Amino acid sequence: MDHSNYQRIKISRDKRILTLTLSNPAKLNAVDGRMHHELSQIFYDVQDDAETGIVILTGEGTAFSAGGDIEWMRRSAEGLEPGPGPIEGKKIIFGLLDLEKPIIAKVRGPAIGLGCTIALFCDVIFASDTARFADPHVKVGVVAGDGGAVIWPQLVGYARAKEYLMTGDPLNASEAERIGLINHVVPDADLDARVQTFAQKLANGAPQAIKYTKVSVNLALKALAHTVLDASMAYEMVTFTTKDHREAVAAFLEKRKPNFTGT
């Protein structure tokens, strides 16, 4: 792989196991415009990389990803910088779904918003006991359109999915494991070893059998994503233009509660 195009994703290799590390540690690996673009490309590059059989996706430091960078949202709302668009957004989700190689999420600390969505679209999710998961799009006045409306109901059922997506409330790792949102929660000190052991187990398996098993399981999920994403992302783009979204961004930066008016 050509690593030179990536600034917000660090890439390292241990034989057939490739580790991708989200890297914006000063902001808990929040997704800014640069990372959003790189996420829309990386999984297609990995698909074409003949040396890679297994992927580990993680975050640098103490967080997986705190979600969208609020400063990026502010600049976008003020017309100073393009914000997240549906084309790149769909490429992120379908990049994860189309990648035939297994992806293991290794989650420490917060996995929030788009960060949570990306983790949940991985094939197997290991979390530290420090991890917490949330999709708080509604708390910044926008629709959970970047994939949350697709993946949460498949993992935890529609009733729980709607509860968490409509409130944006967080779950700790133990509760996320209990309701089936993630696969495993382990002590933080054991996380790296547990993920490496599991990755090696897959790497020692029959590559084509494992690969096409993933492809087969993802067929129905991809069909659902094709059904839902266009509408949910369109709704999200509409809510990015609302006064409620601008109020939520301002309130976050000013460290106060937003005053939503429905406009």
- pTM of the prediction? 0.95
**Stretch 168-190: mean pLDDT:** 98
Question: How does strand 17-22 pair with strand 9-14?
Answer: antiparallel
In whole angstroms, how far apart are CA 89 and each of 15, 42, 92, 115, 258?
30, 13, 5, 12, 26
Instruction: Give me the pLDDT at residue 252, please.
Output: 86
pLDDT tens by residue, 43-92: 999 999 999 999 999 999 999 999 999 888 888 878 788 888 899 999 99
- What is the C-alpha separation between 224 and 173, in angstroms, rounded? 26
| 232: nearest Cα among 134, 165, 132 | 165
What the chain holds in terms of domains, given with CATH numbers, is 3-188 (3.90.226.10)
Can you name the residues that pair with 54 across neighbouring β-strands?
Answer: 17
pLDDT tens by residue, 90-128: 999 999 999 999 999 999 999 999 999 999 999 999 999
Can you name the residues that pair with 186 across neighbouring β-strands?
Answer: 128
Q: Cβ(108)–Cβ(63) under 8 Å?
A: yes
- What is the C-alpha separation between 63 and 218, in angstroms, rounded? 27
Binning pLDDT at 50, 70 and 90, where does residue 4 land?
Answer: confident
pLDDT tens by residue, 144-167: 999 999 999 999 999 999 999 999
